[in-house]
Amino acid sequence: MKKNWWKIIAVVFVLYTLIAGFLIPVPAQAILHETIRNLYFHVPMWFSMMTILFISVWHSIKYLNKSDIQSDIIATQAAHVGMLAGALGLITGSFWAKYTWGAWWVADTKLNGAAITMLIYLAYFVLRGSIDEEQKRARIAAVYNIFAYVMLLVFLMVLPRMSDSLHPGNGGNPGFNKYDLDSNMRMVFYPAVIGWILFTVWIFTLKVRIEKLKRKNLIDE
């Protein structure tokens, strides 16, 4: 119980997001209308993805320092779960774009950043797949992970600030927290972010445990 308190918080917050997110009144915005409720689902997905990918890179660095295969397992599984969160973020974002901008996909720095993140991590899995030897695979994948993550940070942090964008929070478009988010929405949004991040971390810890058990079984056989 002492170790699992955060899982209870995750469940309570996500349930709260699901119920309150659909029931509590939201401000009537011109183009957004009721789709503004997607804020509770779309935005936390990207927060979760960045958190979990940071865990992945952190463990890649740790692997290069200590050469402990456990760190490699953690880095890989974190990248897997990061992809899951990213895919959900893309899907929810795509629906939102369809209803507000009128297209499933528009040319935009933020959207390009999301697509490139997915491409980088898919390339990471292909790289892992093409090396057989365990230690070598772990080392080379760790190097690529660190290299790619830094380039990704540059893309996500620097470029959107240098060009205009349709996406909220860029180039003159109001960010949600500035004008549009009233106190009602804040009451759902912050728990939603914490809830989804904890939820993803939980999935990730489960995946790490499964992977470790698989390896143990292989050794026992």
Partner 1 sequence: MLAKQIKYLILKELKLEMRNKYALGGILLYVVSTIFVSYLSFKKIVTPATWNALFWIILLFASINAIAKSFISETKGKLLYMYTLASPQAVILSKIIYNSLLLLLLSGLCLLTYSLFVGYIIQDLPLFLITLLLGSFGFSSLLTMVSAIASKAGNNFTLMAILSFPIIIPLLMILIKLSKNAIDGLERWDLNYLLVLMFLNVIIVALSYLLFRYLWRD
Which residues of the chain form contacts with partner 1 (CB under 8 A)?
A: 64, 112, 116, 119-120, 123, 126-127, 130-131, 136, 139-140, 142-144, 146-148, 150-152, 154-155, 158-159, 162
Q: Which of 141, 136, 137, 134 is nearest to 219 (CA)?
A: 134
Min CB(100)–partner 1 separation in Å: 25
Q: Which of 190, 208, 175, 210 is nearest to 55 (CA)?
A: 208
Min CB(197)–partner 1 separation in Å: 25
Angle at 194 between CA 192 and CA 196, to 5 degrees: 65
Distance, in Å, from the CA atom of 139 to the CA atom of 33, rounded to the nearest integer, reads 49
Distance, in Å, from the CA atom of 47 to the CA atom of 198, rounded to the nearest integer, reads 11
- Give whichever of 130 and 217 is closer to partner 1, judged by the CB atom: 130
Min CB(11)–partner 1 separation in Å: 35
- Give whichever of 44 and 86 is closer to partner 1, judged by the CB atom: 86
- Give whichever of 9 and 64 is closer to partner 1, judged by the CB atom: 64
Min CB(151)–partner 1 separation in Å: 4
- Give whichever of 50 and 203 is closer to partner 1, judged by the CB atom: 50
One-letter identity of residue 41: F
Q: Which residue has the tokens 């349930």?
A: 15
SS3 173: coil
